[in-house]
Amino acid sequence: MFKKDLFILAVLMFTASAFAGNDKNSIQIKGSDTMVNLAQAWAEKYMEKNSEDFVAVTGGGSGTGIAAFINSTCDIAECSRSMKKEEIQLAENKGVKPVEHIVALDGIVVVVSPKNPVSKLTIEQLRAIFMGTIKNWKEVGGEDKTIVILSREINSGTHVFFKEHVLRGGHEKGPEEFAPGALLMSSSQAIADEVAQNQNAIGYYGMGYISPKQKVILVAKDEKSEYIMPTIENVVKGRYPISRPLYLYTNGEALGLVKKFLDFTLSKEGQEIVAKTDFVPVK
Amino acid sequence: MRKLKEFIIEKLILISGLASIFFVILIFLFLAKEGLSVFKSVTPFNFLLGKNWYPISEPAQLGILPLILGSLIVTLGAAIISIPIGVACAVYIAEIAPLKIKEILKAGIELLAAIPSVVLGFIGMVTLVPWVKSTFHLPTGLTALSGAIILAFMAMPTIVSIAEDALYSVPKSYKEGAFALGATHWQTIYRVLLPAASSGIVAAVMLGIGRVIGETMAVMMITGNAAVIPQSIFVPVRTLTATIAAEMGEAVVGSEHYFALFAIGIVLFIMSFIINVTADLFLHKRN
């Protein structure tokens, strides 16, 4: 009886270790909610080609991924913002040495409901809307309706990037904040759903989430500039004002399986997947 | 041999009992250790009554008044909805319903208790939220009211089953005495049975509310999570529980933000503790 139990336990432990992320041919990727679809697509294609390797992908937000990376519970952190000085310091204190790799570009799109007549805004107007100084759609050429601001939760790289580049005009540390009345949504999909069914709402997310249920706003640097549509071409040329690199972080220079996967993401095939998932290739 | 066996079993039970108390104390100590560290950087007064929650700004603003009020308004709304319905349902099941309906109702209530909160939250998001928006002509349906309605569903099973139990345990002689004096069925219920079972019913309500205060996932999905002081029940709010759940994954271990989240945990712990102790006092009063 006892022996049988021990045998079952051994089998369980063995299978657990086969699925855990610490043996040679499996890697854990964790982080950005924006990039999760992209990383998933990479992982699927990669595992198709290398059937003996296993790549696990989870989202949750860039901050969440970085926290896991610092605590060594994942091999690669996917981030839609670069790591902050404090985070790098913290990682080094724990013996983790973050190395940054830019694997794709992303335009952050601002979306409203297709029923909303507003179709273009300047950065200045966006700033006023998201900080809560413009409260009504009629102030930016829409109907007489209260604006409902949708933002991502603070663990989101997109939240941090939008705050630093739109609200604070590119300064990392400024006094500007999202309006306290902004609704904080736990995922890009939640923002997409709310925008689709609420014609007063305005939200933002990565290009990967564009769908026909939302209307993409044309953005201009200032009133004198041209209003630009966030297309792949405009992001590559740097014409669209709210775009950013997307990163993978590895602990030290990538080795073994991590290197193999990283090389795959930057290969021709990997970059084709980038374009397919509505992001912008870097090569 | 038999004595030895008895002795061993007795001691095992004793250890099990002590272990659970020991774990609770450990949890509380850990909470206190991590949570109280936040008061190195912010005074308790500013923490509890501060109006701004911007935990990752420089300098961080850690005021949880909007979160406390958010939790309270959702809980209060849920209580106002669930108490009358829950108690009335308990009265119906205990006193009026024919046997067949009684069984069906009881099974239904059990089933309601079995629905995971994330499922309720999801259902609320796709059905209730648009309904609230269009019915009350609000800018958004993600409001404290939506949260209160969904949470009322969660508190209901607890309230109904415990209140029904309390009504059931009122001695039969009370009811017979009331009938003998010529009271109608309804008079008997609200003049005799309800007062006699009142302590049990209050305990039921308290435990239901306790469940509501600690609920996380469903509120996170449908209250909108905006950290502003609510002026009415028709605005988005952010609760204490949703704040911990949404931000814990990202908080850098050992940062002000991290300690502040633990301090929020202490606030929640104290709230639940007060509610449970009150419920307990009422239950003991009955015995």
Read off the pLDDT of residues A52-63 as tens digits, 9 standing for 90 and up: 999 999 988 888
C-alpha torsion B178→B179→B183→B184, nearest 10: 130
Calculate how close chain A gets to B147, using CA atoms only, in Å. 14
Average pLDDT over residues A5-11: 48
Q: Who among A90, A180, A190 is closest to B252 (CB)?
A: A90
pLDDT tier at A213, thresholds 50, 70, 90: very high
Please answer whether residues A107 and A234 qualify as being in contact, where contact means their C-beta atoms are separated by less than 8 angstroms: yes
Alpha helices in chain B (DSSP H): 2-36, 44-49, 65-91, 99-114, 117-123, 129-135, 144-168, 172-180, 185-187, 194-196, 198-214, 217-222, 240-247, 256-286
Alpha helices in chain A (DSSP H): 2-19, 36-49, 62-70, 85-93, 123-131, 157-162, 188-197, 232-236, 256-266, 268-276
Chain A residue with CA closest to B223: the answer is A183
pLDDT given at position A220: 93
Report residue A196 as tokens. 């689709």
pLDDT given at position A85: 87
CA distance A241 to B87: 58
CA distance B124 to B94: 30
Please answer whether residues B275 and B212 qualify as being in contact, where contact means their C-beta atoms are separated by less than 8 angstroms: no
Residue A107 DSSP code: E
Count other C-beta atoms under 10 Å from residue B39's C-beta: 14
Q: Is A146 on the interface with B (CB under 8 A)?
A: yes
Average pLDDT over residues A122-142: 94
Cross-chain Cβ contact B57/A177 below 8 Å: yes
Cross-chain Cβ contact B225/A183 below 8 Å: yes
Q: What is the number of residues in chain B?
A: 287
Q: What is the pTM of this model?
A: 0.81
Q: Who among B125, B139, B221 is closest to A148 (CB)?
A: B139
User: In this model, does residue A19 exceed pLDDT 50?
Assistant: no
pLDDT tier at A16, thresholds 50, 70, 90: very low
pLDDT given at position B261: 94
Q: Is A182 on the interface with B (CB under 8 A)?
A: yes
CA distance B256 to B42: 9
Which regions in chain B score pLDDT beneath 50?
A: none
pLDDT tier at A6, thresholds 50, 70, 90: very low
Average pLDDT over residues A122-147: 94
Cross-chain Cβ contact B249/A64 below 8 Å: yes
Cross-chain Cβ contact B142/A194 below 8 Å: yes
Q: Is B28 on the interface with A (CB under 8 A)?
A: no
CA distance A220 to B259: 41
Residue B36 DSSP code: H
